[in-house]
Structure 1
Amino acid sequence: MTHRVALLGLFVVVGGAALALPGRDYHPTWYVGAMSNWNAREMPLNCSLLGDGAYEAVIFRDGVNADRDATGYKREVVKVSVKAQLKLNLGPGGGWAGRIYPVK
Protein backbone atom coordinates (compact mmCIF):
# COMPACT_ATOMS: atom_id res chain seq x y z
CA MET A 1 0.00 0.00 0.00
CA THR A 2 1.40 3.38 -0.98
CA HIS A 3 0.65 6.61 0.88
CA ARG A 4 1.13 9.96 -0.72
CA VAL A 5 2.02 12.71 1.74
CA ALA A 6 1.78 16.42 1.07
CA LEU A 7 3.60 18.61 3.56
CA LEU A 8 2.76 22.19 4.39
CA GLY A 9 5.74 23.92 5.91
CA LEU A 10 6.53 27.37 7.18
CA PHE A 11 9.92 28.46 8.37
CA VAL A 12 10.37 31.94 9.77
CA VAL A 13 13.42 33.52 11.40
CA VAL A 14 12.61 36.46 13.64
CA GLY A 15 15.31 38.21 15.67
CA GLY A 16 17.35 35.08 16.33
CA ALA A 17 14.36 32.80 16.92
CA ALA A 18 13.32 30.12 14.46
CA LEU A 19 9.76 28.82 14.19
CA ALA A 20 8.73 25.85 12.06
CA LEU A 21 5.19 24.58 11.52
CA PRO A 22 5.03 21.41 9.46
CA GLY A 23 1.69 19.67 8.99
CA ARG A 24 0.30 16.82 6.90
CA ASP A 25 -2.79 16.94 4.73
CA TYR A 26 -4.15 13.62 6.03
CA HIS A 27 -3.44 14.23 9.70
CA PRO A 28 -4.46 17.41 11.57
CA THR A 29 -1.61 17.32 14.12
CA TRP A 30 0.87 20.21 14.06
CA TYR A 31 4.40 20.18 15.49
CA VAL A 32 5.82 23.53 16.54
CA GLY A 33 9.33 24.51 17.59
CA ALA A 34 11.08 27.75 18.50
CA MET A 35 14.66 28.52 19.51
CA SER A 36 16.22 31.67 20.90
CA ASN A 37 19.72 33.09 20.92
CA TRP A 38 21.12 34.39 24.22
CA ASN A 39 18.46 37.07 24.47
CA ALA A 40 15.20 36.27 26.24
CA ARG A 41 12.15 37.03 24.14
CA GLU A 42 8.41 36.58 23.85
CA MET A 43 6.86 35.53 20.54
CA PRO A 44 3.18 35.16 19.60
CA LEU A 45 2.05 31.99 17.82
CA ASN A 46 -1.02 32.65 15.71
CA CYS A 47 -3.18 29.51 15.45
CA SER A 48 -5.29 30.66 12.49
CA LEU A 49 -3.88 27.87 10.29
CA LEU A 50 -5.62 25.24 12.40
CA GLY A 51 -8.90 23.84 11.11
CA ASP A 52 -12.24 24.41 12.77
CA GLY A 53 -12.91 22.74 16.09
CA ALA A 54 -11.26 22.38 19.46
CA TYR A 55 -7.57 21.54 19.88
CA GLU A 56 -5.16 20.79 22.69
CA ALA A 57 -1.47 21.61 22.79
CA VAL A 58 1.17 19.67 24.70
CA ILE A 59 3.88 22.24 25.37
CA PHE A 60 7.46 21.93 26.59
CA ARG A 61 8.87 25.31 27.55
CA ASP A 62 11.85 26.73 29.40
CA GLY A 63 11.93 26.26 33.15
CA VAL A 64 12.85 28.93 35.69
CA ASN A 65 16.63 28.39 35.43
CA ALA A 66 16.80 27.17 31.83
CA ASP A 67 19.60 29.64 31.01
CA ARG A 68 21.82 27.87 33.61
CA ASP A 69 20.39 24.34 33.55
CA ALA A 70 19.36 22.91 30.17
CA THR A 71 17.41 20.12 31.88
CA GLY A 72 15.02 22.66 33.40
CA TYR A 73 11.73 22.64 31.51
CA LYS A 74 8.00 22.70 32.15
CA ARG A 75 5.34 20.54 30.46
CA GLU A 76 1.83 21.92 30.03
CA VAL A 77 -1.38 20.90 28.28
CA VAL A 78 -3.57 23.82 27.13
CA LYS A 79 -6.77 24.22 25.12
CA VAL A 80 -6.35 25.91 21.72
CA SER A 81 -8.73 27.14 19.02
CA VAL A 82 -8.33 28.64 15.57
CA LYS A 83 -8.75 32.10 17.17
CA ALA A 84 -6.06 31.52 19.81
CA GLN A 85 -2.69 33.16 19.99
CA LEU A 86 -0.19 31.27 22.16
CA LYS A 87 2.54 33.23 23.93
CA LEU A 88 5.99 31.65 23.52
CA ASN A 89 8.30 32.80 26.33
CA LEU A 90 11.86 31.90 25.39
CA GLY A 91 14.63 32.21 27.95
CA PRO A 92 18.24 33.06 27.08
CA GLY A 93 19.55 30.15 25.00
CA GLY A 94 16.15 28.53 25.37
CA GLY A 95 13.44 27.04 23.27
CA TRP A 96 9.85 25.94 23.04
CA ALA A 97 8.27 22.82 21.52
CA GLY A 98 4.69 21.77 21.16
CA ARG A 99 2.28 19.36 19.54
CA ILE A 100 -1.17 20.70 18.65
CA TYR A 101 -3.86 18.13 17.92
CA PRO A 102 -7.68 18.06 17.61
CA VAL A 103 -9.74 17.03 20.63
CA LYS A 104 -12.21 14.26 19.88
Structure 2
Amino acid sequence: MPLTFTGGILPLTLLILLAVILPAILAGQTRSQIRLTLAMLTTTAIVWVAGAGLMAWSYYQANGSLSAGIWPYFQRALPLGLLYGPIIALIWLVRAQGVEQRRGLQMRDGR
Protein backbone atom coordinates (compact mmCIF):
# COMPACT_ATOMS: atom_id res chain seq x y z
CA MET A 1 0.00 0.00 0.00
CA PRO A 2 1.67 3.24 -1.09
CA LEU A 3 2.03 6.20 1.23
CA THR A 4 -0.48 8.81 0.12
CA PHE A 5 -1.77 11.99 1.70
CA THR A 6 -5.03 10.47 2.93
CA GLY A 7 -3.61 6.97 3.37
CA GLY A 8 -0.71 7.83 5.63
CA ILE A 9 0.42 11.41 5.92
CA LEU A 10 -2.85 12.96 7.12
CA PRO A 11 -3.66 10.24 9.71
CA LEU A 12 -0.13 10.32 11.14
CA THR A 13 -0.26 14.12 11.28
CA LEU A 14 -3.56 13.90 13.16
CA LEU A 15 -2.00 11.45 15.65
CA ILE A 16 0.87 13.87 16.26
CA LEU A 17 -1.54 16.81 16.66
CA LEU A 18 -3.54 14.75 19.14
CA ALA A 19 -0.34 14.03 21.09
CA VAL A 20 0.50 17.75 21.14
CA ILE A 21 -2.93 19.23 21.91
CA LEU A 22 -4.34 16.75 24.46
CA PRO A 23 -1.83 17.50 27.26
CA ALA A 24 -2.74 21.19 27.15
CA ILE A 25 -6.44 20.34 27.38
CA LEU A 26 -6.13 17.64 30.06
CA ALA A 27 -3.54 19.30 32.33
CA GLY A 28 -4.27 22.97 31.71
CA GLN A 29 -2.22 25.33 33.88
CA THR A 30 -1.86 22.87 36.75
CA ARG A 31 0.66 23.24 39.56
CA SER A 32 0.61 19.50 40.28
CA GLN A 33 3.10 17.04 38.83
CA ILE A 34 0.68 14.23 39.66
CA ARG A 35 -2.08 15.81 37.60
CA LEU A 36 0.39 16.37 34.77
CA THR A 37 1.49 12.72 34.96
CA LEU A 38 -2.11 11.52 34.81
CA ALA A 39 -2.78 13.84 31.86
CA MET A 40 0.27 12.53 29.99
CA LEU A 41 -0.63 8.88 30.65
CA THR A 42 -4.19 9.56 29.52
CA THR A 43 -2.85 11.27 26.41
CA THR A 44 -0.66 8.26 25.65
CA ALA A 45 -3.61 5.89 26.04
CA ILE A 46 -5.88 8.02 23.84
CA VAL A 47 -3.24 8.32 21.13
CA TRP A 48 -2.68 4.54 21.29
CA VAL A 49 -6.43 3.93 20.85
CA ALA A 50 -6.47 6.42 17.97
CA GLY A 51 -3.50 4.57 16.45
CA ALA A 52 -5.42 1.29 16.73
CA GLY A 53 -8.31 2.98 14.95
CA LEU A 54 -5.90 4.13 12.26
CA MET A 55 -4.61 0.56 11.88
CA ALA A 56 -8.17 -0.80 11.64
CA TRP A 57 -9.04 1.84 9.05
CA SER A 58 -6.00 1.12 6.90
CA TYR A 59 -6.66 -2.65 7.16
CA TYR A 60 -10.26 -2.05 6.11
CA GLN A 61 -9.16 0.06 3.14
CA ALA A 62 -6.71 -2.61 2.01
CA ASN A 63 -8.93 -5.69 2.50
CA GLY A 64 -12.49 -4.43 2.48
CA SER A 65 -13.28 -6.03 5.85
CA LEU A 66 -11.97 -6.19 9.40
CA SER A 67 -10.55 -9.28 11.06
CA ALA A 68 -12.20 -10.72 14.16
CA GLY A 69 -11.36 -8.93 17.39
CA ILE A 70 -9.74 -5.61 18.15
CA TRP A 71 -6.53 -6.76 19.87
CA PRO A 72 -4.54 -7.22 16.61
CA TYR A 73 -5.07 -3.55 15.79
CA PHE A 74 -3.79 -2.48 19.20
CA GLN A 75 -0.72 -4.66 18.64
CA ARG A 76 -0.18 -3.09 15.22
CA ALA A 77 -0.52 0.37 16.76
CA LEU A 78 2.36 -0.17 19.20
CA PRO A 79 5.10 0.61 16.63
CA LEU A 80 3.41 3.97 16.04
CA GLY A 81 4.73 4.82 19.50
CA LEU A 82 8.10 5.30 17.83
CA LEU A 83 6.48 8.24 16.05
CA TYR A 84 4.55 9.92 18.87
CA GLY A 85 6.47 8.61 21.91
CA PRO A 86 9.40 11.05 21.68
CA ILE A 87 6.97 13.90 21.01
CA ILE A 88 4.95 13.05 24.13
CA ALA A 89 8.16 12.77 26.17
CA LEU A 90 9.34 16.19 25.00
CA ILE A 91 5.95 17.77 25.72
CA TRP A 92 5.95 16.16 29.17
CA LEU A 93 9.37 17.63 29.92
CA VAL A 94 8.37 21.13 28.78
CA ARG A 95 5.06 21.04 30.67
CA ALA A 96 6.81 19.74 33.82
CA GLN A 97 9.15 22.72 33.65
CA GLY A 98 6.09 24.95 33.36
CA VAL A 99 4.58 23.33 36.47
CA GLU A 100 7.74 24.01 38.44
CA GLN A 101 7.89 27.59 37.16
CA ARG A 102 4.29 28.22 38.27
CA ARG A 103 5.07 26.68 41.66
CA GLY A 104 8.10 28.93 42.03
CA LEU A 105 6.08 32.02 41.14
CA GLN A 106 3.41 30.97 43.63
CA MET A 107 6.02 30.60 46.39
CA ARG A 108 7.58 33.95 45.49
CA ASP A 109 4.22 35.69 45.68
CA GLY A 110 3.46 34.02 49.02
CA ARG A 111 0.30 32.23 47.91
Q: TM-score, normalised by structure 1?
A: 0.32
Structure having the larger proportion of residues in helix? 2
Bigger Rg, which one: 2
Q: TM-score, normalised by structure 2?
A: 0.31
Structure having the larger proportion of residues in strand? 1
